[in-house]
Amino acid sequence: MESQGSCSVFDHVVRAPEDPILGVTVAYNKDQSPIKLNLGVGAYRTEEGKPLVLNVVRQAEQTLVNDKSRVKEYLPIVGLAEFNKQSAKLIFGSDSPAIQENRVTTVQCLSGTGSLRVGGEFLAWHYLERTIYIPVPTWGNHPKVFTLAGLSVKTYRYYDPATRGLDFQGMLEDLNSAPAGAIVLLHACAHNPTGVDPTLEQWEQIRQLIRLKGLLPFFDSAYQGFASGSLDSDAQSVRIFVADGGECLVAQSYAKNMGLYGERVGALSIVCKNADVAGRVESQLKLVIRPMYSNPPIHGASIVAMILRDRDMYNEWTIELKGMADRIISMRHQLFEALLARGTPGDWSHIIKQIGMFTFTGLNSEQVAFMTREYHIYMTSDGRISMAGLSSTTVPHLADAIHAAVTRVA
């Protein structure tokens, strides 16, 4: 008999749960309440609660559109050459000896996620120790990206809930007992979700241990410029590792710092011992990319390349970026003050101490569920809130919700 409507070859397929982060937006979109507030996904909003396209990005796009000589031909497998060159300079520094010595290979990828995935697959193919250590907690997509890339995922201690700070001893102990050669995933700055970063002195100790043990650092840089407001300061962790002449990988995203979320612009750089190795590594990266998506999209990378190359546009970008970082910091202060004013039980100083887009509030999943149910506030169930989604007008509502959750839900 011909197959009928009720009988599908996919009948055994079970419904998968929504993504823990992007699923928050799905739930938010379904909510009809006028007071609803989305503090789930890390996406910058203005004081008016609107998504922001940077002026400098609009300007670059206009220039691109007006240039009739531009065509839509495929980019090379590794992406736009100027974009790759500028991206390496942005993260490693314009005077980086590693770049001058041609021992860095940079390939354009699909934002931060795509860069992590391409790097992960390359390592699964070509690196002997196929184990990657990720911090606890970390961005929820990390374990999935690396497992599907073919690596085995293990964890190292990072955050101490008791102090709401770095578990530095735990981190060092776990890295010290990792097998020689293991890969270590490090958040370059503005650790997601905790907002807790090592100090520069601690980074230096981490670097010494990693080099001593022959571990391979893989940096995820999704928030350069968002932590301190300075692109150079936020790249310090990466730069101390490159300065010692050792090897490492870096995944860069322009989603947040240039507001190019949906354009999917990012880069993977692999810093190698010498130019010869870098050339061979790049030839193999092409073999990873070609069957995955062939070559990356041209539009977003052209915007970034133009902004990074043009001194005036670059300066304008740094001003707009600082504006975003400052607004987030101001939200931290306003939320902290609002909780103080309400006499909300507990110590909330972590709200102003944490760094980057998120506050890791310490609220548990029941308290989060309560805030969503009673106050229409959407956030990830681990108690992370995106400070970039807040504004002066919504701070009181959030503070009321936190106060109620803490006093009424255990």
Q: Which of 111, 269, 334, 354 binds ligand KET (CB under 6 A)?
A: 111
113 binds ligand KET (CB under 6 A): yes
Q: Which of 44, 122, 139, 360 binds ligand KET (CB under 6 A)?
A: 139
Q: Which of 84, 108, 253, 334 binds ligand KET (CB under 6 A)?
A: 253
In terms of Cα–Cα distance, which of 337, 368, 333 is closest to 354? 333
Provide the residue type at 41 as one letter. V
- Least gap, CB of 157 to ligand KET (angstroms): 18
Q: Which CA distances in Å does 64 have to 76, 150, 153, 299? A: 19, 39, 42, 9
- DSSP per-residue letters across 80-108: -HHHHHHHHHHHH-TT-HHHHTT-EEEEE
Contact 370, 311 (CB under 8 A): no
Catalytic residues: 139, 220, 256
What is the spatial distance between Cα 249 and Cα 123, in angstroms, rounded to a whole number? Answer: 10
- Least gap, CB of 212 to ligand KET (angstroms): 26
Q: Which of 37, 38, 39, 41 binds ligand KET (CB under 6 A)?
A: 41
Q: Which of 222, 242, 268, 331 binds ligand KET (CB under 6 A)?
A: 222
Residues in contact with ligand KET, counted by CB under 6 A, come to a total of 16
The span of 118-126, 253-261, 331-339, 402-410 binding ligand KET (CB under 6 A) equals: 253-261
Q: Which CA distances in Å does 403 have to 250, 300, 358? A: 40, 42, 19
- Least gap, CB of 127 to ligand KET (angstroms): 21
Among all chains, which residue has been given the structure tokens 């008791």?
A: 162
What values do phi and psi take at 337, rounded to 5? -60, -40
- Least gap, CB of 166 to ligand KET (angstroms): 16
Question: Toward ligand KET, which CB reaches closer, 260 or 272?
Answer: 260
Contact 326, 229 (CB under 8 A): yes
Question: Toward ligand KET, which CB reaches closer, 123 or 255?
Answer: 255
Q: Please list the residues that pair with 51 across neighbouring strands.
A: 45
* Binding pattern for the stretch 51-90 against ligand KET, x by CB under 6 A and - elsewhere: ----------------------------------------
DSSP 51: B
- The total number of residues written for the chain in this structure: 410
DSSP 235: G
Question: Toward ligand KET, which CB reaches closer, 87 or 113?
Answer: 113
335 binds ligand KET (CB under 6 A): no
What is the spatial distance between Cα 53 and Cα 259, in angstroms, rounded to a whole number? Answer: 6
The span of 77-85, 111-119, 268-276, 301-309 binding ligand KET (CB under 6 A) equals: 111-119
Secondary structure of residue 202 in the 3-state scheme: helix
21 binds ligand KET (CB under 6 A): yes
Question: Toward ligand KET, which CB reaches closer, 98 or 260?
Answer: 260
Contact 192, 357 (CB under 8 A): yes
What is the spatial distance between Cα 84 and Cα 344, in angstroms, rounded to a whole number? Answer: 48
The span of 107-115, 225-233, 282-290, 340-348 binding ligand KET (CB under 6 A) equals: 107-115
- Least gap, CB of 277 to ligand KET (angstroms): 26
266 binds ligand KET (CB under 6 A): yes
Q: From the centroid of its chain, how far is CA 131?
A: 21
Contact positions vs ligand KET (CB under 6 A): 21, 41-42, 111-113, 139, 141, 187, 192, 220, 222, 253, 255, 261, 266
